[in-house]
Structures are given as structure tokens and as C-alpha cells.
Structure 1
């Protein structure tokens, strides 16, 4: 697989920059939107910008099942999709017509009284984008990690925001003598009771706590204080939501995930990635790089690694030290590449 990626994609350096090709990318002349959905029979980009008209912006498909559309700038030079617009992709799938949040969406929100979440085209004007001011701290000789959840960082739910965590919690962590903070539940998750582990939008920071720029400000402040920022990243499974998550995205059971029982975690009630698929690898590797490059996270704590490595997910297995418990037919070899 690695040799094939080097040959056909130009190496992991290029392969892990999938966000520069998929989802929404803006150029000087307009916006391109691409989505991998091989099971779809047709696809169209819909949203506030075209009054949700499925006939206005119909997408075309290539031989790899990637749908694409280019929207030129408006006559006055403004972007064809305004910042903050709600967007979705409408597909005719084997399971029927469905409107989905783009898989590579960078922000999604839930309007009061609305279910499910809505994808948001997030591309503020340059003067409104947060600019990092402080470099990453140097690698310490040893780590003293403070684990935290922004949404549960105070006794007042309404102030559990990136901004409040930045101003009130980070200085306290620094005073206590820690040199790193590990932040949980960053990736967007519709079901709050999942504690952030049933991710629906992998490239979007949780909107409950603020905007992407608010999160960048938090990380920049941590770096100013000399704190490394680790992200609790979830690549071991995904929410089984079909409208605002990846499940049945293109109307098939085997899109991003294994089909049948292998693609379902019976204890977590979630979907399991097919790590042996080319586009799944691109998605997850690019996702990890996105958080490092765009948000300046310093590293990761990977959740559910045992579940990734073994088809039994570590459930009902004692792991007594016998090699057969660690290396055997239950090993998910594909996951080891991740």
C-alpha cells in the first residue's frame, strides 16, 4: 500500500493533504467542491447560496467515484458561496434521495430546534481570520499532561467555551506545573452524551464551544504560556448517524466502513472504518494532518487503538501475555498502517 501511494499519489506528503483537493477549496477564480461517493447515481451541491435548488449546481463524476463542481466568483469578484452559508450535498443513492453534510466540512452547527446539524461553509475574510502569534513550544524532556474537556471545564455550562478555557483554565494549568494539555471532544459530535467519541464531522471543531478561530486562539494562548496542546483524536470508529455523519454517506453500507458485522461495533453502537481502502486512508491521514497544520496542535492521543488493531476490539479478551492474544487471526493488519 505504501509503495502504491508513493507511485500514484506522489508519497505520503501529498497523500495526507487531501483537504487541499476534497471538500471546498477556494481559488482566485471561484470555489471547487469535491466528494468521494462512488455509490451515488447523481449528486448536486445545495445550500443557502442557491436556495437549496437541486437542479442549480449538478456535479459530475470521474472514474474513481469522485463528484466535482466548480462555482465561479460572482461578477463583483465575491465568492459564490458566502461565508457562514449552510451547505449540503444531495445524492440519489441506492437507499434513496438523501441530503448529507459534506464529509470534509470544516464547520457544522445545530440551529435551535433543528435536527440534524447543518454543514457550514466556513471561510471568513482575511481580516477576520485568526493569525497565530506564538511559535510551538520546544519539545520538553518529559511530559506532564493535564487532560481536559472544554465543554465540562466549569460548573456553568453557558461559559464552557474555547474563549473561557483560554482565559480562565489555561493559566491555572500552567500554574499547577503542567507543560501540556490534552483536549478531549474537539471533533464535532451530534450526540453530546457520547462525550465526543461518536464523531460526525471529522474536520470540524465542536461548535458547542465556539468557532474554528476561537479554537485557534485557545491553542495560540497555550503556546504563549509554554504549554503543548495534544488532541484526543478519534479514528477508531465513527457515529452511525446517516444525515450528519459518514454512515451510509453514499447510500451504501460499505463506503467508509466495512460492510456487515465487521463494520459495526456492537458495544459502542458505531461504525468501523475499512482501513484497507485507499480513500479511507486518505481521509484519516489527511484528517490528522489537518489538525496539525491548520490548528497547530502539537500531537495526538489516539482513542480506541486496541479496537483498531483487533477485529475483536479487545472485548472479552484478557491479554494475559500470550503472544497469540496479540498476534493472530484477529489482528486487523490494515489498521497497522494508520
Structure 2
């Protein structure tokens, strides 16, 4: 999966193929255990480029302060969050992250060797960047913690299979479910989708997470804690239960199907 994410980053100005992305996320043998990741040590060693650095380039060094304004940084941070959530949500049996990449570590790792005059300078991880409330690295770390918390609450999450709900190539949308969670992604850089409908199991769904929250470096375009109710609609194939959501550009949502109250009164 890592190779495909970097393949897509080389095509930021093009529309991404959502069907191929879904294929890469879900294509695995069910009888073989597998671990999924966006990037690993290969991209973090000297000579490589991490996911976020590939998105931001030199802006990594001068535009990550909260007061900085950059559409390139906004887009890069959004993709960093979407890629990680999509990879985690579709992972076969586990999710891997290389130390520091969860908050977009700006430097590579280079161990002492003859080529760097046996220097220890880059044999480090700068954890203080993620602890600085004035930098956007903390926002990426906040999102990483939030998405892991949601998945960890699902005891059988990695034992459940993913189910594709919707692919919309024109709008760059990908929506699928796993266990009692629905994951909705809008990879479009500019186009938001209001009242977007897709088929789900009947019931109500609570918004658990959206990548657009301010604490995650977003624009807070969605109200927290919303409850969505499916509605039956007549479709070509018969009656289906449909959910309608607002899906902003460069944003991902996680909805949880609420358990119906079975108590009798």
C-alpha cells in the first residue's frame, strides 16, 4: 500500500482513481496475515522522503507554525490524515507506523557512517516538535491518537472484513464500512459534497471523528456529535436505506452505527 500512496503523490494535480485505490487498500489474501502502513523506515532514512515531506517540500521548515498560511500545507496535512485513516481502517491484521511519522517528522534518520563523518546529528527523532502547541505537528499527532482510539475500542475490528459502500470517481469519494463503523473519504482538493447520499444498513449513525476539526488542523466545517438517520428510498434495484451527510473537501468522517435499545417498557 505504501508504494501506491507515493504513486498518487506524484499525481497531486490529477484526479485519483478511487477504484484502484480501493483495490490497493483491500487486495490481500484472507488466509495470510498482513500489516498495512503508509510509510516505513525506507522513506525516513537519509536519501528518502516521507509522505508529508513529499507533499510540502521546503514548506515543512518554514510554514508549519499555526500563524502561517499556506494552501500547500493545508492540502498536505489533509492528505496525511486521510491516507493514514484509510490505511488503518482497511488494514488486514494490523497497522504500522514508523516512529515520528505520525506527526510528520521533518528530518530523516542518518546513523554514524563514513559518509557523514561519523556524525550522530541526524540519529534522532525530534519529539519536542509534536509537543509544541504553536506548531501543526501537534495537530497531526492529535489525529493519530484519535483514530487509533476509535479502532482500539472495536475489540474484533481486525477480524471483520471491509465492505465497499460507494465509489464516486467524479467527486473523488470513497466510502466503506467495517464492523459497526462507516468510513467516508473526500479526496477532492476543492469540491465539497453537501447532502451526499449512500446506502447503509438501516438505523442511526453517530459521528465519532472528522479530520476537519480544529485540533486536527482542519477548518471545523462539521458540527461535532451529530446523529444521522437512514431513510428508505426506492432505487433501481429496489428499496434501500440511504444516509445523507456533508462531506467537505479533503476530509474524512467516521460514523458508528448505534445499537438499538432492545429494552421493553
Shared fold (TM-score, shorter chain, > 0.5) = no
**When the two structures are superposed, what TM-score results if normalisation uses the length of structure 1?**
0.23
Q: Which has the higher contact order (CA 8 A, sep 6+)?
A: 2
Which structure's CA Rg is the greater one?
A: 1
**When the two structures are superposed, what TM-score results if normalisation uses the length of structure 2?**
0.27
